[in-house]
């Protein structure tokens, strides 16, 4: 039925072209640039493929690769990002799971309101919210003001521009990303299973660990990934709340690109970010999908 095929091609045409041009092509280009050398022109790149006398010439430059592997800055940057993202995920789980659980067990008529209250901050400007934390955490900020006023401390605490501030900001920003999918999973749970467990002699905590937790695992995993992956690539929060002593990899990329005008290096970092984070994620999602979840 070629009329049907023609129709399908018509529907797919625009998306394919757009995605091919603006998602696939950029990826290939980033890869290509990472193999190129930094130059002096505008843009500051000597492409790794050139054209001279009618045939292509190759000038693959692996300096960036060498530098990446050897210079502590990059390795530390990656490790920092992963560590902070990991800690963020953990803290979000500790704070977010109880929240999602209570929301899922709340009376049905309250639930939409509770969900809306979690979504609301997400819709307001993320920049403004990070900015708000500056006002709260700085030396003459709200938090210190409150603590000094209550007499709990005698000297203002230095929180801003430290890893702690970054951590607080990250947990704050990513909490909804964990609570919402987890809530969605918990809400679909068959609560009569807990009644069955109780009937069979399980005390509340035991029932939680042996019934609720395992059943909510897919949602927990989904939420954790939804936090971990974007968090490792986060730029704004470490930039505004952190310091240059503990750079995250996105900040490193930013500096390489805007500060050092080393586009190939920045591209290489982007590629590594992709490989280290996104690809395992896609595999996991694919695995989850075949397992019948999500």
Site pattern 61..90 for other proteins (x: CB under 8 A) = ------------------------------
Return the DSSP state at 53. T
Q: Name residues contacting other proteins, limited to 236-255 (CB under 8 A).
A: 236, 240, 250, 253-254
Give the x/- contact pattern for other proteins in 189-228, rule: CB under 8 A: --x--xx--x------------------------------
Choose which of 35, 159, 165, 270 interacts with other proteins (CB under 8 A). Answer: 270
Phi, psi of 55 (to 5 degrees): -145, 155
Give the whole-angstrom CA distance, residue 35 versus residue 63.
9
Task: Select the residue interacting with other proteins from 74, 183, 228, 263 (CB under 8 A).
Answer: 263
Task: Let me know: does 129 contact 172? Beta carbons within 8 Å.
Answer: yes
- What is the total count of residues that contact other proteins (CB under 8 A)? 91
Q: Looking at 50-58, 61-69, 72-80, 270-278, which segment touches other proteins (CB under 8 A)?
A: 270-278
Q: Which stretch binds other proteins (CB under 8 A): 54-62, 64-72, 116-124, 158-166?
A: 116-124
Q: How far is the CB of 209 from other proteins (least distance, A)?
A: 16
Tokens of 110: 């309250």
DSSP secondary structure string for all residues of 104-137: HHS-TTTHHHHHHHHHHHHHS-HHHHHHHHHHHH
- What lies within 8 Å, CB to CB, of 31 at 6+ separation is 267, 271
Going residue by residue from 19 to 58, which x/- string records binding to other proteins, judged by CB under 8 A? Answer: xxxxxxxxx-xx--x---------x---------------
**150 forms part of the interface with other proteins (CB under 8 A):** no
Question: Residue 224: which of 80, 103, 87 has the closest Cα?
Answer: 87
Sign of CA dihedral 210, 286, 5, 9: positive
């Amino acid at each position: 039925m070629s009329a049907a095929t023609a129709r399908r091609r018509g529907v797919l045409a625009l998306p394919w072209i757009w995605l091919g041009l603006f998602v696939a092509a950029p990826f290939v280009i980033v890869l290509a640039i990472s193999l190129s050398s930094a130059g002096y022109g505008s843009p500051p790149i000597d492409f790794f493929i050139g054209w001279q006398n009618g045939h292509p010439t190759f000038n693959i430059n692996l300096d960036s690769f060498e530098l990446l592997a050897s210079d502590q800055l990059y390795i530390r940057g990656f490790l920092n990002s992963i560590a902070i993202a990991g800690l963020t995920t953990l803290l979000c789980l500790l704070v977010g799971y109880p929240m999602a659980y209570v929301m899922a067990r709340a009376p049905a008529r309250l639930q939409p309101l509770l969900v809306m209250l979690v979504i609301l901050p997400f819709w307001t400007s993320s920049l403004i919210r990070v900015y708000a934390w500056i006002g709260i955490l700085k030396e003459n900020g709200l938090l210190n003001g409150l603590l000094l006023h209550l007499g709990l401390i005698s000297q203002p605490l230095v929180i801003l521009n430290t890893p702690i501030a970054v951590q607080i900001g990250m947990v704050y920003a990513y909490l909804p990303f964990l609570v919402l999918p987890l809530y969605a999973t918990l809400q679909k749970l068959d609560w009569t299973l807990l009644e069955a467990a109780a009937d069979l002699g399980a005390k509340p905590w035991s029932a939680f660990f042996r019934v609720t937790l395992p059943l909510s695992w897919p949602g927990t995993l989904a939420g954790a990934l939804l936090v971990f992956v974007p968090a490792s690539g986060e730029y704004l929060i470490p930039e505004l709340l952190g310091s240059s002593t503990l750079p995250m990899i996105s900040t490193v990329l930013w500096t390489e690109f805007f500060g050092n005008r080393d586009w190939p290096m920045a591209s290489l970092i982007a590629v590594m970010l992709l490989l280290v984070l996104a690809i395992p994620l896609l595999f996991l999602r694919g695995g989850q999908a075949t397992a019948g979840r999500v």
